[in-house]
Amino acid sequence: MQVAALDEFGGPEVITPRMLPVPQIADDEILLKVWTAGVGVWDALRRQGMLVPEGASFPLVPGTDAAGTVAAVGGKVTGLTVGDVVYVSDSMVPKGGFYAEYAATNAQYVAKLPAGVPVEHAGAMPTDALTALSGLDALALPAGAWLLIFGASGGQGHLAVQLAKRQNLNVIAVASGTEGVALVTRLGADVSLDGHGDLDDVLARIREVTPNGVDGLLAMAGGPTLDRLAEAVRDGGALAYPNGVQPQPSERPGMTTQAYDGESNPGQLRRLNELIEAGPFQVHVAEKFPLGRAAEAHRRLQTSYPGKLLLTVR
C-alpha cells in the first residue's frame, strides 16, 4: 500500500512516499480503508520525535485521525461491519498512522460517520472535534451562559463554535483576520471579533455585550492576546485550554484555569455524533493535499489559515 512515512525525525522533508505492507489487525481492531486524513500540529510533533506511540518503529507513518470505510473487522469487534463509512481519532497507532491507504486501529476509537458531514471532509474533524468537546466539558457552562472562544477560526475553534451553539451557549468568537471572522459568523457565533485588531476595541465590544464578564473562555491558542482576553472573564469564571497550547495561559485571582486533553472513547464519540446531527455542521478545510504531498502539507502547517488541512488518499 502507498503511505507517507519517515525514517528519521526532523523537518517536513523527512516525510516521503513509499510502499509498505497492509497491516494485520488484532481481534479488537478494524482495518480502515482511508479516504481522507487530518493534518494537525500533533503530527508535526510526532515527526519531530515527540508523542511517538509505544511500540512504534521506523518507517513511522504519521496521522492520528481519518475517515473512510471499514475494510476488515476483528473477531471481537461489534457494531461495525465491512463497508461502514466511519471516522476515527486514535493517537496510539503502533502499526502505523493514517497517512496511508490502509490503517489498523482499535475499534473503540471508531464511530460511524453522522449524517451531514461529507466523507471528503470528515478526516479533518475527529481529533479537533473531540478536543473541542472536551474543552466544553471542562468548562461545564449552563445553557444561556456566555462563552468566549479564542482561536475560533482554527481547526478546533471553528468546531467548538458549532458544538457550543448546540449546547445553547452564547458565543463570542475571536478569530484571525477578516476571513476568520467571516467563517465564525457563518457558523453561528453571536459576536465575531478579529483578534488581529486593536485589543482595546475587542475588549470594549466584549464588555458591551457582557458587562459583568464572560462565564468561560476556551483558549485554542496562547500568547499575549489570550492574556488580555482573560481580562474579560468574570470573577468566578473559568479558562480552559488543551494541553499543548503554548505559552500556557497566565493565572489570575478569581479565575479558574484548567488544562485538559481531548478524549476518544465510545461515549464521547456517541455524544459528538448526537451534537453533530442536531443541525447543519461544517468542517472547514483550508487546503487539500494528495498523500504524496504530505511534506508540503506539513510546511503549510507552519502558516496561518482558517479551519484544517487535509490529506486525500482515496
**Residue ranges covered by each domain of the chain:** 2-125+283-312, 128-260
**Mind listing the pLDDT tens digit for each residue in 249-262?**
988 899 999 999 99
pLDDT of residue 233: 98
Question: Pseudo-torsion of CA 135, 137, 140, 145, nearest 10°?
Answer: 60
pLDDT of residue 252: 87
Task: Report the topology of domain 2-125+283-312.
Answer: Quinone Oxidoreductase; Chain A, domain 1 (3.90.180)
Cα–Cα nearest to 150, from 201, 212, 203: 203
* One fold for 2-125+283-312 and 128-260: no
DSSP 50-72: SSPPTT--SSB---SEEEEEEEE
Residues in the chain, pLDDT under 50: none
What is the SS3 assignment for 265? coil
Question: Using CA atoms, how far apart are residues 284 and 89, in angstroms rounded to an integer?
Answer: 18
CATH fit for domain 128-260, picks 2.60.40.10, 1.10.3720.10, 3.30.1320.10, 3.40.50.720: 3.40.50.720
pLDDT of residue 117: 92
C-alpha cell at 127: 481529533
- Mode of pairing for the β-strands spanning 256-260 and 233-242: parallel
pLDDT of residue 119: 84
Note the pTM of the prediction, 2 decimals.
0.97
pLDDT of residue 116: 83
pLDDT of residue 279: 87
